[in-house]
Chain A
Amino acid sequence: MLLLAAHEAWGQARWSPQAGLPVVLGTTSGGMSLGEDYFRGTLQTPPARRRQPTRALQYQSQVQARFIGEAFGFEGPTTVISNACASGASAIGHAWETLRRGRAERVLTGGYDALSLLVFSGFDSLQALSTTTCRPFDAQRDGLALGEGAAVLAMETLDSAQQRGAEILGEVAGYGAATDLHHLTQPHPQGDAALETMTRACASAGLSATEVDYVNAHGTGTPLNDIAEALAINRWAGARAGKLAVSSTKAHIGHLLGAAGAVEAVVCLMTLREQWLPPETGIQTVDAACGFSLVRQPTTARVEVVASNSFGFGGANATLIFRRWA
């Protein structure tokens, strides 16, 4: 999945191999299924040795990241961020900061995660999985739907893109991160850390919350996440909350864990380019905590600035701000 996403981004950007091209990826458990296969092999009597070294090697995220360089013919500094379900957004934010610092002109960045028994059993053990339909921000929501995937962005400085006449798909305008200390798996009930990360993202973009047209919410569909995030968005948007369009695309594609922030970044770029808002069509009753306008039908709209929230276990919170490039 990671290589397919990278291939698509690489081709669309029309990049050619370049020494020193940084790669910044986010994942929570990218190769866990290989780790599970390794574990199963060790439990056999006698232990199954065949392919065990390969499993052990390819389980490692830095090895997976190396595959990208090998596939596209370059080597460059590789950073793998594992900030739980904020990993993909954190990676894009880190890549953006690398460009802003002038450390590189281009960065290949994104997030990826594949489903595994450990992950599925883990969320099931926490009773976090929906037994019906994943309905973020619905009053009757009962959990999340796990998914898997990958997204890769070919990011470069404006100067670099313009010099080579590249088609610019959108602008990463801001990034904010904060740590929620409330609980290992539960957000602060009032969404304090979520508010902080959204505020920091806006500050880094030089924007106020009133200039954001749409929020792609973390919106997992779990009772605790959605209410905390809703309260945070209400506080962040202030008096304009009622007019702010919000939706969670996890309702349709599931929670992609370390890939979520990256895939949702792509959704945000599509929103900006094509001027539409991704809906949640399965909502029956919007939770009363939502002081904002939950997008429930496919909608065309003028969208200039969007925000994307990603919140993870361990209180890893990240918000990205994207701006339409015209």
Chain B
Amino acid sequence: MSRVLVQGWGAVSPAGWGVPAMRAALERGEPLSVKPQVWPGSERTLTVREVPPPSPRPAFFGHPRLRRASPITHYAAAATLESLEVAGVTGASQPQRLGLIVCMWAGCVHYSYRFLDEALQDPATASPMLFPETVFNAPTSHVAVLLGRSPVTCTLLGDPATYLQALALGAEWLEEQRVDGCLVVGAEETNWLLTSVLWYFDKSAVPGGGAGALYLENAKANQAGVELSLITDPQMYSSRQSRVAAACSMRRELPASRPDELLCDSRQDRPRTDAAEDQAWQDWFGSRLSPKKVLGDGLMASGAWQCVAACEALARGQFQAANVSVVGSNQQAMGARFVRNGTASTPLSAEPSAQPNSP
């Protein structure tokens, strides 16, 4: 790929609205508290890490298209706007040709649940207000409107490693000069229905909603910043390639361990889920950050949080390079590498940084 710089990043997570809140939580390293979630009709109580209400309320909540939108749209919009603000490309300075790729695993579960509930009770009275918001690309559409331009858009579905596929697609659009800037957003929202699905596969799963966004541009000559230097091939799971084998194949495409580099992985302190990634990265002796251990399983948002955390660490001068490892749930393992070239982008704040958690 041509040189692609990450010019901005944004995040909404159970730690709060914005990258500073997420960074503070990751620096503390303590898993965020969980909340009980009622499973209707079941004696079991599920647990979840919810995104707290925003304070102050973002102005975009008042946009006509976003007033009734579901949380996933609000999360995606907030992360997108933050990434553009960090990149300094708000308003008139936005590129004319903008790309917007939004990816998700479960998507718009709030309104899907509500609409399905109404339809099962009486299809004749199910609300027409809800149905359009159940469609996977509704958040993409709303964010596109919020940007005020007519971006090239695409909505991708898949497991959390799909976020790296989306980054690769955004880099391709830039390389082909199809767009001048590209937003890549991973977003998810939770409700009891989704939490119950995860429960069947791992009783200790604690989902959390949110979003992460990176804003990419082609690098100008000698331009310094955080560079997206490599994305591995998608290593697919199948009856011929196990999750462990796929994770190890992904790991082999990334460089050997170095003390001045960060590994930002997708482990969650769930032994069965983490086993493949543990094995793939057993040779890594450098610093290691596992955002999901703190923030919870944000599904597609997690893949984005990992990239945001990696870029943030590079921009703050903590490392020369950061490798991101996403071993997805049931589709693929993918990795990415970000490097810090020249003088990195301006840090988001002057707060002192703590070292990420070590292995």
Contacts and interface: CB of A to CB of B under 8 A. Distances in A.
Interface in B217-254: 233-234, 236-241
B59 interface: no
Nearest to B119: A121
A47 B42 contact: yes
Interface string A29-49: 100000110111011111100
A184 B111 CA distance: 15
A77 B236 contact: yes
Given A62-B158, A70-B238, A78 B332 contact: yes
16 contacts: A43-B120, A75-B237, A79-B156, A84-B135, A90-B154, A118-B115, A118-B116, A122-B115, A124-B124, A125-B126, A179-B144, A179-B150, A179-B151, A314-B135, A314-B137, A316-B155
A53 B201 contact: yes
A46 B43 contact: yes
Given A39-B113, A117-B123, A181-B145, 8 more contacts: A28-B135, A39-B116, A39-B117, A40-B120, A62-B331, A69-B236, A126-B128, A196-B150
A161 B258 CA distance: 45
Nearest to B125: A125
Nearest to A184: B132
Contact of A80 (B112, B128, B131, B158): B158
B200 A42 contact: no
B138 interface: yes
Interface residues of A, number: 64
A81 B154 contact: yes
Contact of A75 (B130, B193, B241): B241
B156 A177 contact: no
A125 B127 contact: yes
Given A118-B134, A125-B131, A75 B43 contact: no
A220 interface: no
A61 interface: yes
A127 B128 CA distance: 9
Contact of B196 (A42, A77, A178): A42
A313 interface: yes
Nearest to B328: A62
Nearest to A257: B135
A111 interface: no
B148 to A, nearest CB: 8
Contacts of A125: 126-128, 130-131
Interface string B276-308: 000000000000000000000000000000000
Interface of A: 20, 27-29, 35-36, 38-40, 42-47, 52-53, 56-57, 60-63, 66, 69-70, 75-84, 90, 94, 97, 101, 117-118, 120-127, 177-181, 184-185, 193, 196, 312-316
A151 to B, nearest CB: 19
Contact of A61 (B119, B157, B236, B237): B157
B47 interface: no
B interface majority secondary structure: mixed
Given A63-B330, A125-B126, A181 B144 contact: yes
B330 A57 contact: yes
A36 B128 contact: no
A246 to B, nearest CB: 25
Contacts of A181: 141, 144-145, 150
A42 B193 contact: yes
Contacts of B236: 66, 69, 75-78
B58 interface: no
B163 interface: no
B352 interface: no
A179 B152 contact: yes
A105 to B, nearest CB: 16
Contacts of B172: 97, 101
A42 B132 contact: no
B83 interface: no
A36 B116 contact: yes
A70 B239 contact: yes
Q: Which of B134, B151, B165, B176 counts the most A-chain CB atoms under 10 A from its CB?
A: B134
Interface string B320-359: 0000000000111000000000000000000000000000
Contacts of A63: 330-331
A267 B133 CA distance: 31
Contacts of B197: 38, 56
B240 to A, nearest CB: 6
B285 to A, nearest CB: 31
Contacts of B165: 77, 79
Nearest to A122: B131
A179 B141 contact: yes
A43 B115 contact: no
Given A62-B331, A76-B236, A312 B241 contact: no
